[in-house]
């Protein structure tokens, strides 16, 4: 709140949302897009009909999550693979659950749902716990890689990596 929040928000707007920042995201999005197209072509060939026969909405959801994570963290989660690691699968399910539980919460005050400890509230909180754990793990990985110089400033390190490299915000504020 207050001036600190405003100052950090303006910094984030400049570093992340400015048109000059976009070219840094293009290679990250391109890599995910190319993998998605390869996956779509492979699945079309495997179908025997030369067309997509899988659940396209689920594939697009995984593509979107992979893209967002790659731009944010500069890391891939492997969501476009035939075999998705159990931890990544939990993340996919948590984001999906968070979306599904948000809709009912728009009609009832969250404080009431929390007080009543409804199933929707519990599922929503559990989903956010998984999402925040995944985000924290990615942030720690990026921080460690940058500090150990396993990645250079010339690489595309994602939004959080750029914020860490520029050292204009404390790590706890970047996490928040």
Give residue limits of the domains in the chain. Answer: 2-175
Averaged pLDDT, 19-40: 89
Average pLDDT over residues 46-64: 81
Q: Among 6, 46, 31, 5, which residue's Cα sits nearest to residue 158?
A: 31
Name the pTM for this structure: 0.80
Give the Cα separation of 99 and 96 in Å (integer): 5
The answer to whether the CB of 153 falls within 8 A of the CB of 165 is yes
Rounded to 5 degrees, φ, ψ at 149 are 60, 30
Q: What is the pLDDT of residue 170?
A: 83
CB 85 within 8 A of CB 66: no
Is 129 or 145 the better-scoring residue by pLDDT? Answer: 129
CA distance 169 to 71: 19
Q: How far apart are CA 72 and CA 49, in angstroms?
A: 37
Name the CATH architecture for the domain at 2-175. Orthogonal Bundle (1.10)
127 versus 142: the higher-pLDDT residue is: 127
Closest by CA to 170, choosing from 25, 7, 28, is 7
Q: Report whether pLDDT(151) > 80.
A: no
Q: For 151-169, what is the mean pLDDT?
A: 75
Most confident of 41-50, 75-84, 137-146, 157-166: 75-84
């Amino acid at each position: 709140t207050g001036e600190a929040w405003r100052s950090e928000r303006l910094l984030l707007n400049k570093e992340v949302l400015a048109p000059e920042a976009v070219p840094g995201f293009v290679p990250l999005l391109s890599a995910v897009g190319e993998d998605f197209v390869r996956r779509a072509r492979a699945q079309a060939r495997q179908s025997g009909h030369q067309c997509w026969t899988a659940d396209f909405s689920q594939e697009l959801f995984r593509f979107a999550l992979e893209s967002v994570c790659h731009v944010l963290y500069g890391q891939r989660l492997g969501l476009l693979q035939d075999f998705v690691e159990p931890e990544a699968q939990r993340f996919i399910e948590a984001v999906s659950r968070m979306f599904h539980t948000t809709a009912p919460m728009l009609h009832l005050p969250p404080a009431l749902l929390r007080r009543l400890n409804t199933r929707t509230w519990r599922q929503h909180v559990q989903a956010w716990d998984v999402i925040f754990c995944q985000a924290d793990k990615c942030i720690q990985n990026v921080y460690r890689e940058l500090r150990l110089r396993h990645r250079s400033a010339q690489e595309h390190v994602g939004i959080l990596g750029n914020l860490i490299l520029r050292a204009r915000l404390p790590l706890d504020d970047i996490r928040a």
